[in-house]
Amino acid sequence: MLVQTSRADTANATAEEKLPEFVSEVAGLDMTKYNITDESYGFHYPSEYGGIAKEESVSFNLVSNKGTVYTVRAHAIFLNGFICLLNVNAPTNARMFFVDPPTNTIDESRKMLQRYNIFAEKYGFDTSHIDQALKLLSNATGASSASSDYHLLNDITGFVPSVTCVGNMKQETEYDSITWVYTERGVDMPNKCLKIDFGINKLHFVDTWNLFTVGCFSAISEDEAIRIGWDEAKNYNVTLIGEEGPYNPEFEWSNRTYVKLNMIPGQIHNITDDDHTVNPGDATRDPLALYPQWFMVFYFDKHVPAGRRSIAGVAVGLWGDTKEIFLTCVTQDMDVTGEHPYLTNETSIDESQHSNLSSNVYLIGGIAAVIAIAIVVAAVALKKRRKTQNNPS
C-alpha cells in the first residue's frame, strides 16, 4: 500500500531519520540484510558558515546478517537539514547488498540520480541541477571491462574519462567517479557540485549545489594577480632556523609559476578570532557564498634544503575581489623528488584521523595544503630551535 507523506511530516524529519532512508532509497542498499548498530549523532553551527547553518553529523554501522559477517560504515553530513556528504564504506573485497545489484557506474549513477530526485523533492529542495545532471549523463561512456586497480564498489565497471560542458554545468568523469561542477564566466567552482564516487569499495556522494551561491567574480585578471603576487613574493623575507639559529638561505628565482583561481566560501578562513594563519581581509562576505581567491607559487631555481624536506618556492594568496594579500609563506615538498601537495585540486581526508568529520572537508583549494605545510615548517623550526637551546655547542 502506498502511504502518502505530507510536506509537514517531511519538514519535521530529523537527520537521524533521513540517513537510513537515503542509504536505502537513494544509495539502494538492501537494509533487510543488515542490522543497524553503533548509531551516533551530533550537531553544531560552524563559524566558517557564519554560525547560520546547522551542521549535523550522523553515522551508524550496518552489520550483515546474511552470509559472511562484515560491517559497512555509513556516515553523512547534513547542512540546514539536507544531506551534502555521504560515505558508505565496506571492508576490502566485501560486497555490499543492494536491492538492485549494480553492474556499471553509468547505470548506477543514473538510478541514483533518479532516486535522489524523488528524495529531494520529498523534502522540498530544488532539483533542477539533478535534472541537468541526468541529461548530461547521456554523454558519458562506460569502460569496456572492470579494472582491479581501482577496487570499485562490488567490482563494477567504471567510466571512460571525459569532460562535457553545457550551460553552467561541467560534467567530469574519471574511471571511478563522476562530478557535475558549477561553472560560470569560464570559472569552475568545485565547491558547488554534485558528485558520485565508487572507488576503493565505497560509495561517496556529495551535493553542495544548492548550499552555495556566487558572491562575486574576480575584479582582476590573471596577469594582474601574478604581478601583485610577484611583488609580494620577491619582497618576502625567507628565513629558516638552522642548528645555529635563524638564517636567510641563498636562492635564485626560476621562470616557473603556478597560478589557480579558486572560488571559496566567504568566511572559510574566519574560524577563530585568534587564527592569523590567513588574512580574512576587510570585506564583509556571505559565509554561504563563493568568492575569488588567486593562489600562486613562485618557484626557486632549485630546492632549498629545510631539515629532511626542501623548500620549493614562495606561495602567495590574493583575494580577487579586494586585491588584499591573504597569505604569504614558503612552500615545501613532501620530499625532494615527490609531487607538490598543493598542486592537487582536492584535499583528501583520512576518516580514521578525523572522527569529527566536518562538511568542509570537501572544500576545494590548494591553499589548505599550503597552510598545513606552513605549520609543518614552523613546527620543524621550533623543534630545531629547542634542540639548539637544550644542547648548546
Reported as a single tens digit per residue, the pLDDT across 347-382 is: 222 222 222 333 343 444 444 444 444 433 433 333
pLDDT given at position 143: 93
Report the pLDDT value the prediction gives residue 273, as an integer from 0 to 100.
54
Asked if residue 42 and residue 180 are part of one domain, the reply reads yes
230 and 172 in a common domain: no
- pLDDT greater at residue 353 or residue 99: 99
Domain match, 226 and 200 both:
no
Does any domain span residue 378? yes
CA angle, corner 257, sides to 253 and 262, nearest 5?
140
Has residue 159 been placed in a domain? yes
**Does one domain contain both 89 and 148?**
yes
In three-state secondary structure terms, 33 is helix
Of 111, 12, 119, the closest CA to residue 76 belongs to 119
Q: Of 90, 99, 135, which Cα lies nearest the Cα of 117?
A: 135
Same domain, 17 and 158: yes
The residue ranking higher by pLDDT, 194 or 340, is 194
pLDDT given for residue 188 in this prediction = 96
Q: How far is CA 243 from the centre of its chain?
A: 38
Q: Which domain-ending residue is among 211, 230, 247?
A: 211
Q: Is residue 217 part of a domain?
A: no
Helix (H) or strand (E) holding 332: strand 325-333
- What pTM value is reported for the model? 0.82
Residue 29 above 50 pLDDT? yes
Q: Does residue 5 fall inside a structural domain?
A: no
Q: Is residue 1 part of a domain?
A: no
pLDDT, tens digit (0-9, with 9 covering 90-100), for 220-256:
999 999 999 999 999 999 888 877 888 888 899 999 9
Lowest mean pLDDT segment, chosen from 26-35, 39-48, 147-156: 147-156
Residue 149 lies in a domain: yes
Which of 66-70, 164-168, 236-240, 389-393 has maximum average pLDDT? Answer: 164-168
With residue 297 as reference, give the H or E element that holds it: strand 289-306
101 in the same domain as 226: no
Q: What are phi and psi of 284, to 5 degrees?
A: -95, 120
CA-closest candidate to residue 161, choices 209, 86, 105 = 105
Same domain, 268 and 339: yes
Task: For residue 140, tell me if it sits in a domain.
Answer: yes
- Domain containing 48 equals 12-211
Q: Which residues neighbour 47 within 8 Å (Cβ) at sequence distance 6 or greater?
A: 267, 270, 271, 272
Statement to judge: residues 166 and 270 lie in one domain: no
Number of domains in the chain: 2
Same domain, 20 and 143: yes
User: In angstroms, how far apart are the furthest CA atoms of the chain?
Assistant: 84
- The pLDDT of residue 10 is above 70: no
Q: Is the pLDDT of residue 333 over 70?
A: no
Residues 134 and 269 occupy one common structural domain:
no
What confidence score (pLDDT) does residue 9 get? 53
- Please answer whether residues 84 and 208 qualify as being in contact, where contact means their C-beta atoms are separated by less than 8 angstroms: yes
User: Residue range 331-345: average pLDDT?
Assistant: 41
Whether 160 is in a domain gets the answer: yes
Report whether pLDDT(107) > 70: yes
Same domain, 244 and 324: yes
Decide which of 145, 178, 211 is a domain's last residue: 211
How large is the average pLDDT for residues 330-342? 48
- Mind listing the pLDDT tens digit for each residue in 256-277? 999 999 999 998 876 555 555 6
Mean pLDDT of the region 284-302: 94
Dihedral sign of CA atoms 130, 134, 139, 142 in order: positive
Last residue of a domain, one of 211, 238, 271: 211
- The CA-based angle 358-12-15, given to 5 degrees, is 25
Residue 241 sits in the same domain as residue 207? no
Question: What is residue 148's predicted lDDT score, i.e. its pLDDT?
Answer: 78
| CA atoms within a 13 Å half-sphere pointing along the CA-CB vector of 353 | 4
pLDDT of 385 above 70: no
Going by C-alpha positions, the residue among 108, 83, 84 that lies closest to residue 18 is 83
